[in-house]
Amino acid sequence: MSATIDTILKYFDDFTPHQVEQFRQLEELYKEWNSKINVISRKDIDSLYEKHVLHCLAIAAIFEFQPGMEVLDIGAGGGFPTIPLAIFFPETKFHAVDSINKKLTVIKEVAAGAGIHNITTQHIRTEEIKNRQFDVAVSRAVAPLGELIKWSKHLVKKGKRQPTEDGGRVPGGLICLKGGDLAQEIHESGKNPKIWEISSFFEEPFFETKYVLQTFY
């Protein structure tokens, strides 16, 4: 049985009608563009809302991105987590970077089709970006934690951010979506990241071995 937009609406109920429509449009847009440029596994396209959109929104379940904040998506692939987060936080600026240009084509076309205007893209390796500073970096299933830190540490503003007045966590540093046994990867990174189990937010079995990690440089 394929997942539907209701998969995300059962966890998040404060979207505007415009945001709901944007999320709804993702299914048709990704099916169209994935048939041209494969960025999502063929077997996963019917689970778009669970395995891709909701997975990325685990970040939004923890962190409150602020208006005007600039976010770097390292190895953005087909737009995850950039696309879901950009819909969720329309006043935050997302910069999607990937070394494979055709993947950025998918991001640009999906964003245009869904009327998402707070995303920019750049065809470049993260470590080659010069003269830019971001408030936070995000990443999903791109590389080991140590590599992500090495690639992006010159691009992210230093220092930990304080929670917002309503108790939400303002993101900073590097926020990653990871899965599986992370012990060796974390050890090799030399860092001690904060770890959240996504299964504590979302009940679907898919999330039982999925995590959100936050580390500072």
Binding-site residue ranges for S-adenosyl-L-methionine? 75, 80, 140
Which residues line the annotated binding site? 75, 80, 140
Question: What secondary structure does DSSP assign to the chain, as a single string?
Answer: ----THHHHTT-----HHHHHHHHHHHHHHHHHHTTS--S-GGGGGGIIIIIIIHHHHHHHHB-PPTT-EEEEET-TTTTTHHHHHHH-TTSEEEEEES-HHHHHHHHHHHHHHT--SEEEEES-GGG--S--BSEEEEESSS-HHHHHHHHTTTB--SPPPPPTTSPBPP-EEEEEEES--HHHHHHHT---EEEEGGGT--SGGGGGEEEEEE--
